[in-house]
Amino acid sequence: MYTNILTAKNNGITTITINRPSKLNALNKETIQELHTAFKTANEDVATKVIIITGSGEKAFVAGADISEFADFSVEEGGKLAAQGQALLFDFVANLSTPVIAAVNGFALGGGLELAMAAHFRIASDNARMGLPEVSLGVIPGYGGTQRLPQLIGKGRAMELVMTAEMIDAATALQYGLTNHVVAQEELIPLAEKIASKIMKNSSVAIGAAIRAVNACFEDGVNGFEAEINEFGNCFGTEDFKEGTTAFLEKRKAVFPGK
Protein backbone atom coordinates (compact mmCIF):
# COMPACT_ATOMS: atom_id res chain seq x y z
CA MET A 1 0.00 0.00 0.00
CA TYR A 2 2.87 2.42 0.82
CA THR A 3 6.24 2.71 -0.92
CA ASN A 4 8.29 4.56 1.70
CA ILE A 5 6.71 3.72 5.03
CA LEU A 6 5.55 0.68 6.97
CA THR A 7 2.60 0.59 9.35
CA ALA A 8 1.76 -2.02 11.97
CA LYS A 9 -1.14 -2.19 14.39
CA ASN A 10 -0.83 -4.07 17.65
CA ASN A 11 -2.67 -3.84 20.98
CA GLY A 12 -3.97 -0.33 20.42
CA ILE A 13 -0.67 1.00 19.05
CA THR A 14 -0.10 1.95 15.42
CA THR A 15 3.60 2.08 14.64
CA ILE A 16 4.58 4.06 11.57
CA THR A 17 8.12 3.38 10.34
CA ILE A 18 9.77 5.57 7.72
CA ASN A 19 11.43 3.06 5.45
CA ARG A 20 14.03 4.56 3.11
CA PRO A 21 17.14 3.38 4.98
CA SER A 22 19.40 3.74 1.92
CA LYS A 23 18.62 7.51 2.03
CA LEU A 24 18.68 7.61 5.84
CA ASN A 25 14.87 7.92 5.69
CA ALA A 26 15.05 11.41 4.15
CA LEU A 27 11.61 12.92 3.65
CA ASN A 28 10.79 13.27 -0.02
CA LYS A 29 7.41 14.51 -1.25
CA GLU A 30 5.98 11.04 -1.63
CA THR A 31 7.02 10.06 1.91
CA ILE A 32 5.40 13.18 3.36
CA GLN A 33 2.17 12.38 1.50
CA GLU A 34 2.25 8.77 2.69
CA LEU A 35 2.92 9.86 6.27
CA HIS A 36 -0.05 12.23 6.08
CA THR A 37 -2.31 9.36 4.99
CA ALA A 38 -0.95 6.98 7.62
CA PHE A 39 -1.28 9.49 10.49
CA LYS A 40 -4.80 10.45 9.34
CA THR A 41 -5.85 6.80 9.09
CA ALA A 42 -4.45 5.96 12.53
CA ASN A 43 -6.03 9.03 14.11
CA GLU A 44 -9.45 8.10 12.70
CA ASP A 45 -9.12 4.46 13.79
CA VAL A 46 -10.94 4.03 17.12
CA ALA A 47 -8.80 1.00 17.96
CA THR A 48 -5.59 3.05 17.76
CA LYS A 49 -4.93 4.71 21.12
CA VAL A 50 -1.28 5.72 20.58
CA ILE A 51 0.86 6.27 17.47
CA ILE A 52 4.62 5.61 17.49
CA ILE A 53 6.71 7.16 14.71
CA THR A 54 10.22 5.81 14.09
CA GLY A 55 12.77 5.20 11.33
CA SER A 56 13.92 1.90 9.84
CA GLY A 57 17.49 0.71 10.12
CA GLU A 58 19.90 1.38 12.93
CA LYS A 59 21.37 4.60 11.70
CA ALA A 60 18.64 7.16 11.26
CA PHE A 61 15.25 8.32 12.41
CA VAL A 62 15.17 10.80 9.51
CA ALA A 63 18.24 12.63 8.11
CA GLY A 64 16.14 15.56 6.93
CA ALA A 65 14.07 16.69 4.01
CA ASP A 66 15.28 15.16 0.76
CA ILE A 67 17.84 17.70 -0.41
CA SER A 68 17.88 16.29 -3.96
CA GLU A 69 14.25 17.32 -4.42
CA PHE A 70 14.53 21.02 -3.65
CA ALA A 71 18.09 21.95 -4.70
CA ASP A 72 16.84 23.84 -7.78
CA PHE A 73 13.67 25.39 -6.30
CA SER A 74 12.67 29.03 -6.84
CA VAL A 75 11.60 31.42 -4.05
CA GLU A 76 7.97 30.59 -4.76
CA GLU A 77 8.54 26.85 -4.80
CA GLY A 78 10.53 27.06 -1.57
CA GLY A 79 7.70 28.83 0.24
CA LYS A 80 5.20 26.35 -1.08
CA LEU A 81 7.37 23.41 0.01
CA ALA A 82 7.37 24.63 3.61
CA ALA A 83 3.66 25.53 3.64
CA GLN A 84 2.56 22.21 2.18
CA GLY A 85 4.84 20.20 4.44
CA GLN A 86 3.61 21.97 7.56
CA ALA A 87 -0.04 21.50 6.60
CA LEU A 88 0.29 17.87 5.55
CA LEU A 89 2.64 16.57 8.19
CA PHE A 90 4.19 18.75 10.87
CA ASP A 91 1.26 20.86 12.08
CA PHE A 92 -1.01 17.97 11.23
CA VAL A 93 0.83 15.61 13.60
CA ALA A 94 1.14 18.22 16.37
CA ASN A 95 -2.62 18.72 16.33
CA LEU A 96 -3.75 15.10 16.22
CA SER A 97 -5.99 14.03 19.09
CA THR A 98 -4.24 10.63 19.27
CA PRO A 99 -0.94 10.83 21.19
CA VAL A 100 2.13 10.59 18.96
CA ILE A 101 5.45 9.40 20.44
CA ALA A 102 8.59 9.87 18.35
CA ALA A 103 11.09 7.06 18.93
CA VAL A 104 14.32 8.65 17.67
CA ASN A 105 16.68 5.81 16.73
CA GLY A 106 19.66 7.64 15.18
CA PHE A 107 20.07 10.83 13.15
CA ALA A 108 17.16 13.26 13.53
CA LEU A 109 18.31 16.17 11.41
CA GLY A 110 16.47 19.05 9.78
CA GLY A 111 13.01 17.85 8.82
CA GLY A 112 13.70 14.72 10.88
CA LEU A 113 14.13 16.67 14.10
CA GLU A 114 11.18 18.83 13.06
CA LEU A 115 9.04 15.71 12.71
CA ALA A 116 10.21 14.45 16.10
CA MET A 117 9.40 17.87 17.59
CA ALA A 118 5.93 17.84 16.01
CA ALA A 119 5.23 14.59 17.88
CA HIS A 120 3.72 15.07 21.33
CA PHE A 121 6.92 13.91 22.99
CA ARG A 122 10.16 12.15 22.17
CA ILE A 123 12.25 9.27 23.43
CA ALA A 124 15.68 8.43 21.98
CA SER A 125 18.25 5.69 21.65
CA ASP A 126 21.74 6.40 22.93
CA ASN A 127 23.12 6.70 19.37
CA ALA A 128 20.67 9.49 18.50
CA ARG A 129 22.09 12.70 17.01
CA MET A 130 19.84 15.71 16.69
CA GLY A 131 20.28 19.01 14.92
CA LEU A 132 18.96 21.57 12.49
CA PRO A 133 21.76 21.83 9.87
CA GLU A 134 19.77 23.97 7.39
CA VAL A 135 21.94 27.10 7.55
CA SER A 136 24.88 24.95 6.40
CA LEU A 137 22.85 24.54 3.17
CA GLY A 138 21.99 28.22 2.90
CA VAL A 139 18.41 27.82 4.07
CA ILE A 140 16.59 27.81 7.42
CA PRO A 141 14.38 25.18 9.05
CA GLY A 142 11.04 25.33 7.23
CA TYR A 143 8.93 22.68 8.89
CA GLY A 144 8.39 24.46 12.21
CA GLY A 145 11.94 24.07 13.55
CA THR A 146 12.53 27.73 14.37
CA GLN A 147 9.30 27.71 16.42
CA ARG A 148 9.24 24.32 18.13
CA LEU A 149 12.93 24.13 19.06
CA PRO A 150 12.87 27.31 21.22
CA GLN A 151 9.55 26.17 22.72
CA LEU A 152 11.18 22.90 23.78
CA ILE A 153 14.71 23.90 24.81
CA GLY A 154 14.63 27.70 25.19
CA LYS A 155 15.67 30.52 22.88
CA GLY A 156 19.39 30.66 23.64
CA ARG A 157 20.06 26.97 23.14
CA ALA A 158 17.87 26.94 20.01
CA MET A 159 19.70 29.93 18.55
CA GLU A 160 23.07 28.25 19.12
CA LEU A 161 21.94 24.94 17.60
CA VAL A 162 20.41 26.64 14.55
CA MET A 163 23.36 29.01 13.99
CA THR A 164 26.11 26.41 14.41
CA ALA A 165 24.15 23.77 12.42
CA GLU A 166 25.79 21.26 14.77
CA MET A 167 24.38 18.01 16.10
CA ILE A 168 23.89 17.21 19.77
CA ASP A 169 24.15 13.72 21.17
CA ALA A 170 21.44 11.87 23.08
CA ALA A 171 22.81 12.83 26.50
CA THR A 172 22.74 16.53 25.61
CA ALA A 173 19.25 16.19 24.10
CA LEU A 174 18.14 14.64 27.39
CA GLN A 175 19.73 17.43 29.40
CA TYR A 176 18.06 20.03 27.14
CA GLY A 177 14.66 18.36 27.51
CA LEU A 178 14.50 17.63 23.80
CA THR A 179 13.98 13.96 24.62
CA ASN A 180 12.25 12.58 27.70
CA HIS A 181 14.29 9.37 27.97
CA VAL A 182 17.42 7.81 26.49
CA VAL A 183 17.83 4.04 26.27
CA ALA A 184 19.86 1.47 24.32
CA GLN A 185 18.64 1.02 20.75
CA GLU A 186 17.06 -2.39 21.38
CA GLU A 187 15.11 -0.96 24.29
CA LEU A 188 13.69 2.00 22.36
CA ILE A 189 10.51 0.50 20.89
CA PRO A 190 9.79 -1.55 24.05
CA LEU A 191 10.03 1.69 26.07
CA ALA A 192 7.70 3.49 23.62
CA GLU A 193 5.24 0.62 23.95
CA LYS A 194 5.50 0.62 27.73
CA ILE A 195 4.70 4.34 27.88
CA ALA A 196 1.91 3.82 25.33
CA SER A 197 0.36 1.10 27.50
CA LYS A 198 0.24 3.53 30.44
CA ILE A 199 -1.41 6.19 28.25
CA MET A 200 -3.96 3.70 26.96
CA LYS A 201 -5.33 3.00 30.43
CA ASN A 202 -6.69 6.55 30.48
CA SER A 203 -9.59 8.23 28.71
CA SER A 204 -8.74 8.80 25.06
CA VAL A 205 -11.32 11.58 24.90
CA ALA A 206 -9.72 13.38 27.85
CA ILE A 207 -6.25 12.88 26.33
CA GLY A 208 -7.40 14.48 23.06
CA ALA A 209 -8.76 17.43 25.06
CA ALA A 210 -5.50 17.69 27.02
CA ILE A 211 -3.45 17.77 23.81
CA ARG A 212 -5.60 20.62 22.47
CA ALA A 213 -5.31 22.52 25.76
CA VAL A 214 -1.52 22.14 25.96
CA ASN A 215 -1.14 23.12 22.29
CA ALA A 216 -3.24 26.24 22.97
CA CYS A 217 -0.35 27.48 25.12
CA PHE A 218 1.70 27.89 21.94
CA GLU A 219 -0.93 29.23 19.55
CA ASP A 220 -0.73 32.83 18.57
CA GLY A 221 -3.72 34.89 19.71
CA VAL A 222 -5.22 32.04 21.73
CA ASN A 223 -5.70 32.30 25.49
CA GLY A 224 -4.57 28.91 26.75
CA PHE A 225 -6.29 29.27 30.10
CA GLU A 226 -9.60 29.92 28.35
CA ALA A 227 -9.00 26.97 26.04
CA GLU A 228 -8.37 24.83 29.13
CA ILE A 229 -11.60 25.97 30.80
CA ASN A 230 -13.51 25.18 27.63
CA GLU A 231 -11.97 21.72 27.20
CA PHE A 232 -12.39 20.98 30.93
CA GLY A 233 -16.09 21.84 30.78
CA ASN A 234 -16.64 19.71 27.68
CA CYS A 235 -15.21 16.65 29.45
CA PHE A 236 -18.23 16.68 31.76
CA GLY A 237 -20.45 15.77 28.81
CA THR A 238 -18.49 12.63 27.87
CA GLU A 239 -19.21 8.98 28.62
CA ASP A 240 -15.56 8.59 29.62
CA PHE A 241 -16.03 11.15 32.41
CA LYS A 242 -19.11 9.31 33.72
CA GLU A 243 -17.21 6.01 33.64
CA GLY A 244 -14.02 7.44 35.17
CA THR A 245 -15.73 9.09 38.12
CA THR A 246 -18.21 6.23 38.66
CA ALA A 247 -15.41 3.64 38.61
CA PHE A 248 -13.45 5.65 41.18
CA LEU A 249 -16.44 5.92 43.52
CA GLU A 250 -17.18 2.19 43.06
CA LYS A 251 -13.51 1.40 43.80
CA ARG A 252 -12.94 -0.41 40.50
CA LYS A 253 -10.79 0.20 37.44
CA ALA A 254 -12.40 2.34 34.77
CA VAL A 255 -13.19 0.78 31.41
CA PHE A 256 -13.38 3.80 29.14
CA PRO A 257 -15.70 3.63 26.14
CA GLY A 258 -13.62 6.32 24.42
CA LYS A 259 -16.64 8.54 23.83
Residue 144 to residue 37: CA distance in whole angstroms: 20
Q: Which of residues 108-127 bind ligand COA (CB under 6 A)?
A: 109-111
Q: Which residues pair with 10 in a beta bridge?
A: 13
55 near ligand COA, judged by CB under 6 A: no
**CB of 170 closer than 8 Å to CB of 185:** no
Which residue number, 107 or 256, has a Cβ lying nearer to ligand COA? 107
Our finding on whether 18 is near ligand COA (CB under 6 A) is: no
CB of 91 to ligand COA, least distance (A): 18
Given candidates 51, 61, 66, 244, which one binds ligand COA under the rule CB under 6 A? 66
Q: Is the dihedral of CA 70, 72, 73, 75 positive or negative?
A: positive
Reading phi first (left if > 0) and then psi (alpha if -120 to 50, else beta), residue 244 is in: alpha
Establish if 145 lies at the interface with ligand COA (CB under 6 A).
no
Q: Which stretch binds ligand COA (CB under 6 A): 39-47, 106-114, 175-183, 210-218?
A: 106-114
Q: How far apart are the first and last CA of the chain?
A: 30
Active site residues: 114, 134
Contact residue for ligand COA among 26, 32, 93, 102 (CB under 6 A): 26
- When the beta carbons of 24 and 206 are compared against ligand COA, the nearer one is 24
What's the closest the beta carbon of residue 202 comes to ligand COA, in angstroms? 36
Label each residue of 15-46 as H, E or C: EEEECCHHHCCCECHHHHHHHHHHHHHHHHCC
| Chain contacts with ligand COA (rule: CB under 6 A) | 23-24, 26, 63-68, 107, 109-111, 133-134, 137
